Structure 1
Amino acid sequence: MTDSPDAAEASAAPPLAAGRGGAAGPAPGGRLRRLLDDGPTLLAFLCLATVGVFVFWPSLACPLWLDDYIHRAMVNHVYPSPRGPLDLYDFVSERDRGVLMTRGILPWWTNPRLEIRFLRPLSSALLYGDHSLFGEHPLVMHLHSFAWWLAAVFGARGLFRRFFIPRIALLATVVFALAPCHAIPLAWLANREALVSLAFGLFALGHYEDFRASRSLARGAAAAALFALSMAGGEYGLLLAGYVVTAEVFAREATPSPSYAGRALGVLPWLAPTAAYLAIRHHFHYGAAGSGFYSDPTQAFGEFMSHAPRRLASLLLDAWLSLDGNGLRALGGWQVGLLFLVALALLAAPVHGAIARLDARAAGHATAMLAGSVLGLAPALAVSTSPRLLAAGMLGVASTVAIVLNDAWFAPPAPEGALESAHAPRGALTASVAYALGFLHLIHAPITSWVVGKEIGFGARLFASHARSLGKRAGAVDAQTPSEVAVQLVRAPNAALFMPFALNPRAEPPRRWRVLARAPHVLAMREGPRTLVLTAPRDVSLFTTEDGDVFGAAPMSLGAVLRVEDMRIEILQVGAEGPERARFTFDRDLDAEGMVWATETGRGYPSITPPEEGFGAPFDP
């Protein structure tokens, strides 16, 4: 380490715990106080790991979920387009989009430009090995993910110890470790790349700091290698870029040559592997296009910028308030913006004051980490918001929260009758904000992490049960070859993309899998033996068009005609949100043998019978 944490503690640690003017704050006593003063020792880390097992156990106990079924199909060689060990995150490409649409894996409204391909070779290889060896035992694969969480927490602990006194380092480590942002990557095996990239990236930052201080080629090479491994884990490694940039701006004392040229040279261990990753990504056409869920700034800059303000505000609110990612979705853009401004107004003075009262070295690193946590979110704005995007950003949030708590709860009292001390909290606002942050990150956050894992597990088990029930009717369960039946789902918001691969782990999905609509309510009118007209409510599209629809949407106007192998679709009515009415004409009678009809409800996918000619039927949740 560059500087001794113990020396920093001796110079900065206050002897008493009190609030402003000597009023007693929530100072822990005796044994707990000594534990805090010792900082994140190895024993404390082991205790935190044990707490993590309990907090994240619902996530670790989850079955397969969402993309996990696609990865299982790829590993078992039953994905319609072959994939190798390094290609599990190559979901939709130019060469196989047509095949996926023909089979119905991609629905009829899919954007004809849709591509979803991520360069995550290391994470892909790890998952390929897991599914090959432990495919029937998801818990083992989740424990593998938990090992990466442990590595990430250990890496964060090292950075906090390097920059701050032990008490702040311990508080920051706890806040970082139990944050809700880790619940989804631990519950969702396909999202493990977030932990892989984070773990390597945090150790890379440690070696990068050593390189900045010593200009040692060995340290620089180690940092570059670790940054390269972080990028190999996935584009989540790009989220650490903010800390590299802000370190050169705000934490200059660590660099012996703080000139512009020296600082430019200092970023080479990060810049070289990052540039190589981006060059490979560009050369092999990785990225996302034509999707409402992803807005790649290199391909759709205008769309990216239109979503960026709300996404940034939502992510920062999720991080600072320890939210689960769902609470803000029901709010309008102006409401999210207003809430963000209120939070900023309340936090600005306490955070600024707490950082200002640190010694110069710690204050520089604190400022760099806070600024880096915001700047590093820029790449995350390319995807619909979720707490899973916040793991790298939580590094700066956790350190800042810990600094505010330390400033409010452990600052020395001002002498009696004296004016506000430069080393004392700035009054009631700081105390109130500290209590709020303490509750949000030390109590609410681990509870939220547990609840998120529980909810994902419940939904994943329900999904698997519904898939097995539907698979039996489709003749897919226990089959060794793709079922020849044609599955027609009149209304199914959640059955496209993932559900076909959940029917049977050993065989390809049915030859024909059709999701006709995703609207919450649909009226089906049968016009003829092979014709069905679907109508959504006024100003509601037959399919999702809002931010978050992974398929995007093909441009459609009144009278447009689309053809998907066995089905012809004619757009009969278009509203503000997209097509509201469409005619579906099949290549055989709706009642023909081999046509399996179902719809999605809150109870699963019950079988249905198409209405008789000239009659209609509503389909609701």
Structure 2
Amino acid sequence: MLERLISGRWNIWLAALIGMLLIAPAMNMGLMGDDYLHWSLLTGRATNAQPGSFFGLFTFADGSQHANQILMDSGKLVWWASDHLRIAFWRPLAELSQKLDYQLWPDSPVLMHLHNLLLYGVMILLVGKLFHELDANRQQAGTATWLFAGNMLHVFAVAWLASRNQMLCGILLVLTVLAYHRWRQGQSALYGLLAAVSLIVGLFSAEAAIQTMGYLVAYALFLEAGKPLLSRFGALLPFIVIVLVWKATHSHLGYGSYGSPGYVDPSSNAGGFLTSLVLRLPALMLAQWYGVSSVMFEQLGRPVQYMYAGGAALLLLTLVYAIHYLGGFKSALARFYAAASIMALAPACAGYPFDRLTVNSDIGASGLLAIVLISVWQRRKQLTGWAQGSAKYLILLIGLVHVVVFPVGKLVSSAMMKTINTSGEALGALALPDAGEASNLHYLLLNAPSAEATYYFPVTREYHGMHNPATMHALGPNNQALTLTRVDDTTLRVNVPTGFKGTITRDVRLQPFKVGDTARMGGITAQVEALTADGVPQTVLYRFPDSVDNTHWRFFAWREEGLYQVSLPALGQSLDIASYDIGKAVMRYLDKNK
């Protein structure tokens, strides 16, 4: 019966329905992070457009020293960020899609989320269609469709409104590969034109559309092995030209990234991208195949990242050998899926690693796993002995993760999205007191849960009806322990043993700090007095324009019990502020608000 279900004519539609239902509980999660910025821009409360972009929804810092200084003055950008920071993405189609939401249902985030969910369903349908066109074995194609539809790593990509560009990009990626396949199989040349148009539109949805080239190159390598090389790679040339022209235009208009360790543009920092590729690709693939999330990878120190990536690579190579040993790569289709999955995931390593970045690569991974899993299951009684048995059980373990754990995890994590989101906001941006109308207050945040996330604090609070102070500045990074010393009436010294590290806003390898460096945030000046062994500020002197005892300066810190207002020490005295566990803080909040 199961085989009939997987191979049946309604298989793709049923997989799409189930895939959508597993994420449906997350549709009430509301806005999150970038969504608040988009709300502000699309409702006319702010402007942020760049040339070539309609609304600037994905321009977070444009690389202008003047514009970045304005962000630092307001507190949206931490002072230890690069003054030339650029994080700007060209996604006009995604912008128009989200603008449509605010035209049709501006006060209904649920309907906006359902828009995302519908697009995800369309993507599953198209992925299923692709599997069935590439693979004559309906059982393998059907299983691949179900594996993709049940993938837990897709939850955040679908549930987060700001990630809609991934759904649009994924749909257009599959359309491109489908049309390319039909064209290369001898059908109408119009399919070749459709493939080119789909790629162009995909590139206007998200930079991730470059991942399409991984599938097209793998197609030429493995699914056209009998054709002349000139024919195979000549067919790719128009698509390569499209990507090159797009990238040149993208850079000319000022889009891309610079100065960020989290977002590494290969065109402006090739060495940094190669390092990111070595570190992030194993971490993302470990999440993709074994289900070990990559979400905390960027928070690790660089030596630990290398050890993590090395361990991940070892586990992945073990899996590759097991597949090879059992003959999993014998078919050209399996080799296509494997190569396409890896090549499609490589460009994602330019961005801050999140499990959601595997969505497009998961098409190839699901196709390969279906072929290998069915083959091993059908031969499970014949695969005996230590070597074959070990390889068999590793494959079956991976199958268990994807067939059982992933769908269950998809449903559970979807159900938890609203709770995670609301607790994070309640402990962060919304924990700070209402400042009242026309406020001249300045909030100084000593150890916010995420200092770099103060970028979103003003719009998050505004959306929830709260009044903001004149500025909100982070004086310390994240949830780390620090010592605050009162030097004189207008000067504070902050020492953070672990340093003022930024995972997104400054790459110290490109722009190192020096003792004596100064930065300005409004009327406050920060001066670096000492560096850690990693080259990040450890001790910083803050000079205020007037007495820190004046009532318009309000100092806040966090602990596991929540936010509290800090009373400054006497002249010459120090105050120790302990680190805290954000996870425990969330659990305390949830227990308190049951």
Q: What interval of TM-score do these two structures reach, taking the shorter chain for normalisation?
A: 0.7 to 0.9
Tell me how far apart the structure 1 counterparts of residues 96 and 258 of structure 2 sit (CA, whole Å): 24
Tell me how far apart the structure 2 counterparts of residues 455 and 310 of structure 1 sit (CA, whole Å): 29
Quick check: 1:60–1:186 contact (8 Å CA) kept in 2?
Answer: no
Offset from partner CA, 1:492-520 (integer Å, 9 cap, x none): 24242122221112799543221111151
Offset from partner CA, 1:122-141 (integer Å, 9 cap, x none): 11121223245434322211
Equivalent in 92, 96, 110 of residue 121 of structure 1: 92
Q: What letter is aligned with 1:229?
A: V
Alpha carbons of structure 1 residues 271 and 332: separation in structure 2 relative to 1, 3 Å: closer
1:458 aligns with 2:419: yes
Quick check: 2:173–2:212 contact (8 Å CA) kept in 1?
Answer: yes
1:347 aligns with 2:315: no
1:561 aligns with 2:518: yes
Partner of 1:377: helix, strand, or coil?
helix
Q: What letter is aligned with 1:486?
A: H
Deviation at 1:469, TM superposition (A): 4.1
Question: More displaced, 504-513 or 285-294?
Answer: 504-513
Alpha carbons of structure 1 residues 343 and 570: separation in structure 2 relative to 1, 3 Å: closer
Q: What is the 5 A alignment of 1:157-168?
A: 157-164=128-135, 165-168=137-140
Partner of 1:503: helix, strand, or coil?
helix
Which residue matches 1:599?
557
1:333 aligns with 2:306: yes
Equivalent in 410, 432, 445 of residue 393 of structure 2: 432
Quick check: 1:115–1:288 contact (8 Å CA) kept in 2?
Answer: yes
Which residue matches 1:111?
82
Tell me how far apart the structure 2 counterparts of residues 126 and 194 of structure 1 sit (CA, whole Å): 12
Deviation at 1:467, TM superposition (A): 5.3
Offset from partner CA, 1:65-112 (integer Å, 9 cap, x none): 121122122223334756774421111113422221221110111111
Partner of 1:74: helix, strand, or coil?
helix
Which residue matches 2:544?
586
Q: What letter is aligned with 2:472?
A: W
Quick check: 2:62–2:254 contact (8 Å CA) kept in 1?
Answer: no
Tell me how far apart the structure 2 counterparts of residues 456 and 49 of structure 1 sit (CA, whole Å): 21
Quick check: 1:297–1:304 contact (8 Å CA) kept in 2?
Answer: yes
Equivalent in 353, 370, 376 of residue 344 of structure 2: 376
Deviation at 1:412, TM superposition (A): 10
Partner of 1:598: helix, strand, or coil?
strand
1:318 aligns with 2:279: no
Partner of 2:57: helix, strand, or coil?
coil
Equivalent in 517, 520, 526 of residue 476 of structure 2: 517
Q: What letter is aligned with 1:393?
A: S
Which residue matches 1:4?
none
1:59 aligns with 2:19: no
Which residue matches 1:190?
162
Alpha carbons of structure 1 residues 251 and 448: separation in structure 2 relative to 1, 3 Å: same
Q: What is the 5 A alignment of 1:263-342?
A: 263-268=232-237, 270-326=239-295, 332-342=305-315
Partner of 1:385: helix, strand, or coil?
coil
Equivalent in 242, 250, 272 of residue 222 of structure 2: 250
Tell me how far apart the structure 1 counterparts of residues 472 and 246 of structure 2 sit (CA, whole Å): 37
Q: What is the 5 A alignment of 1:174-185?
A: 174-185=146-157
1:45 aligns with 2:12: yes
Quick check: 1:531–1:583 contact (8 Å CA) kept in 2?
Answer: yes
Bigger radius of gyration among the two: 1
Tell me how far apart the structure 1 counterparts of residues 7 and 173 of structure 2 sit (CA, whole Å): 28
Alpha carbons of structure 1 residues 438 and 230: separation in structure 2 relative to 1, 3 Å: same
Question: More displaced, 163-172 or 121-130?
Answer: 121-130
Q: What letter is aligned with 1:516?
A: L
Tell me how far apart the structure 1 counterparts of residues 5 and 405 of structure 2 sit (CA, whole Å): 22
Tell me how far apart the structure 1 counterparts of residues 6 and 314 of structure 2 sit (CA, whole Å): 33
Deviation at 1:217, TM superposition (A): 2.6
TM normalised by structure 1 equals 0.84
Partner of 1:299: helix, strand, or coil?
coil
Alpha carbons of structure 1 residues 522 and 453: separation in structure 2 relative to 1, 3 Å: farther
Tell me how far apart the structure 1 counterparts of residues 496 and 163 of structure 2 sit (CA, whole Å): 34
Equivalent in 145, 148, 154 of residue 173 of structure 1: 145
Deviation at 1:338, TM superposition (A): 3.1
Q: What letter is aligned with 2:3?
A: R
Tell me how far apart the structure 2 counterparts of residues 428 and 468 of structure 1 sit (CA, whole Å): 53
Pairs aligned (count): 561
Tell me how far apart the structure 1 counterparts of residues 468 and 206 of structure 2 sit (CA, whole Å): 28
Deviation at 1:292, TM superposition (A): 1.3
Tell me how far apart the structure 2 counterparts of residues 507 and 81 of structure 1 sit (CA, whole Å): 22
Deviation at 1:356, TM superposition (A): 5.3
Equivalent in 130, 137, 141 of residue 108 of structure 2: 137
Alpha carbons of structure 1 residues 248 and 509: separation in structure 2 relative to 1, 3 Å: farther
Equivalent in 318, 333, 347 of residue 365 of structure 1: 333
Alpha carbons of structure 1 residues 215 and 282: separation in structure 2 relative to 1, 3 Å: farther
Equivalent in 488, 492, 496 of residue 528 of structure 1: 488
Which residue matches 1:260?
229
Tell me how far apart the structure 2 counterparts of residues 412 and 581 of structure 1 sit (CA, whole Å): 61
The gaps in structure 2 that reach 5 residues or longer are: 581-594
Which residue matches 1:574?
531
Question: More displaced, 129-138 or 63-72?
Answer: 129-138
Offset from partner CA, 1:180-236 (integer Å, 9 cap, x none): 231111222111211110111101110110111226331111111111121111011
Offset from partner CA, 1:142-182 (integer Å, 9 cap, x none): 11111111111111101110122110011101111121231
Identity in percent: 22
TM normalised by structure 2 equals 0.87
Say what the alpha-carbon RMSD is for the aligned residues.
Answer: 2.7
Which residue matches 2:591?
none
Q: What letter is aligned with 2:444?
A: Q
1:34 aligns with 2:4: yes
Alpha carbons of structure 1 residues 387 and 616: separation in structure 2 relative to 1, 3 Å: same
Which residue matches 2:44?
77
Partner of 2:204: helix, strand, or coil?
helix
Which residue matches 2:355?
387
Question: More displaced, 578-587 or 214-223?
Answer: 214-223
Deviation at 1:368, TM superposition (A): 1.3
Alpha carbons of structure 1 residues 214 and 192: separation in structure 2 relative to 1, 3 Å: same
